[in-house]
C-alpha cells in the first residue's frame, strides 16, 4: 500500500518539491495551502508524470485552527488512513524586535508556532487512534541559536516547533503500543520563494531539488533529527550551537 501523506504549505517552495519527490516514490498525497490555484496546477503536473497516484488538494489557512482539525479528518478519510503528516506551512516575515513591526513578528509567531501546534495536535489525534504514524516537523538551522535582525522571531518559532516535536517524541518513546515516529528536519539554505529575496551566502545555498532530496531522504529514513543537506550543515550546526555569540554573529 502506498504511503499516505498530508503536506501543508504545499503550493510552492519546499512543500511543492516534496510533493513531487514523494509522488515519484509512489506515495499518495493530500496537499494543502491557501492558494488552491497553485495546488491544482501542481496536482495536474504530478498526475501527468505519475498517473497512478492519488493527489488530493484542499484549501487550508493553517491559522484557522478549527479548519486544521477538520481538514486533517477529512483528508485522512479520503486517503483511507494517514501514514505521515508533514508540518511544513510557514512564514518568513519579521523585523528586529522593538522597531515598530510587532504586527509582522506576531503574524510569523502565529503561523509558525501556534498553527504548527494545531497541526501537530490534529495529526497526533489520528496517529494515537490508529496507534501508528509518522509526524514530520520542518524546523530550520536558525532554530539552533537565537538570531538577529529580521530572523529573531522566525528562529524562535522554529526552535519552538523543534521543542514541541521533541516533547512528542519523548511522549511516545518506549511505548510499543504506539508505533509513532517523530522527525524534526532542520533545512539549511535551500532556495525557495520564502528566501528568494533574502541576501544569504550563495556558496552555501543549494537549489530546491537538491535540498529537498536531502530532506526527503531524511524523512524516509525516519530520522529523529536531521540537518539537511548534511554538508555543510552538520558541521556548521555544531559551530552555531556551541560557539560564542560573537562567532555566531559573523555566521548569520
d(CA 194, CA 150): 13
Q: For the domain covering 4-251, report its CATH number.
A: 3.40.50.720
Residues tagged active-site: 154
Which of the residues in the chain have pLDDT under 70? 193-203, 252
17 torsion bin: left (phi>0), alpha (psi -120 to 50), beta (else):
alpha
The three-state secondary structure class of 42 is helix
Q: Which helix (H) or strand (E) element contains residue 227?
A: strand 225-228
How does DSSP classify residue 244? -
Burial of 206 (0-12, 13-18, 19+ CB in 10 A): buried
What DSSP line would sit under 63-113, residue for residue? T-HHHHHHHHHHHHHHHTS-SEEEE---------TTSS-HHHHHHHHIIII
Query: What is the per-residue pLDDT across 191-234, written as a single tens digit (0 to 9) for each?
Result: 876 555 555 555 678 999 999 999 999 999 999 999 999 999 99
Which pLDDT belongs to residue 103? 95
d(CA 121, CA 19): 22
Instruction: Tell me the percentage of the chain whose pLDDT exceeds 70.
Output: 95
Which pLDDT belongs to residue 167? 98
The three-state secondary structure class of 251 is helix
Which pLDDT belongs to residue 192? 74
Which pLDDT belongs to residue 59? 97
* 112 CB-near residues (< 8 Å, 6+ apart): 90, 91, 154, 157, 158, 160, 161
Amino acid at each position: 500500500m502506498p504511503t499516505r501523506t498530508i503536506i501543508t504549505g504545499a503550493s510552492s517552495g519546499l512543500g511543492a518539491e516534496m510533493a513531487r519527490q514523494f509522488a515519484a516514490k509512489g506515495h499518495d498525497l493530500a496537499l494543502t495551502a491557501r492558494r488552491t490555484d497553485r495546488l491544482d496546477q501542481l496536482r495536474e503536473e504530478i498526475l501527468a508524470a505519475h498517473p497512478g497516484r492519488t493527489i488530493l488538494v484542499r484549501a487550508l489557512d493553517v491559522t484557522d485552527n478549527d479548519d486544521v482539525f477538520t481538514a486533517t479528518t477529512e483528508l485522512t478519510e479520503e486517503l483511507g488512513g494517514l501514514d505521515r503528516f508533514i508540518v511544513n506551512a510557514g512564514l518568513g516575515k519579521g523585523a528586529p524586535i522593538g522597531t515598530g513591526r510587532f504586527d509582522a513578528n506576531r503574524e510569523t509567531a502565529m503561523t509558525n508556532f501556534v498553527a504548527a501546534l494545531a497541526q501537530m495536535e490534529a495529526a497526533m489525534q489520528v496517529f494515537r487512534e490508529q496507534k501508528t504514524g509518522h509526524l514530520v516537523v520542518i524546523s530550520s538551522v536558525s532554530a539552533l541559536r537565537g538570531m538577529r535582525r529580521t530572523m529573531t522571531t522566525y528562529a524562535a518559532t522554529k526552535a519552538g516547533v523543534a521543542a514541541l516535536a521533541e516533547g512528542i517524541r519523548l511522549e511516545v518513546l518506549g511505548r510499543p503500543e504506539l508505533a509513532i515516529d517523530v522527525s524534526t528536519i532542520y533545512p539549511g539554505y535551500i532556495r525557495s520563494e520564502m528566501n528568494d529575496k533574502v541576501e544569504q551566502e550563495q556558496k552555501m545555498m543549494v537549489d530546491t531539488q537538491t535540498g529537498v532530496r536531502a530532506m526527503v531522504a531524511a524523512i524516509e529514513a525516519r530520522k529523529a533529527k536531521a540537518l539537511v543537506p548534511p554538508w555543510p550543515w552538520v558541521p556548521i550546526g555544531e559551530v552555531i550551537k556551541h560557539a560564542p555569540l560573537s562567532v555566531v554573529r559573523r555566521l548569520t
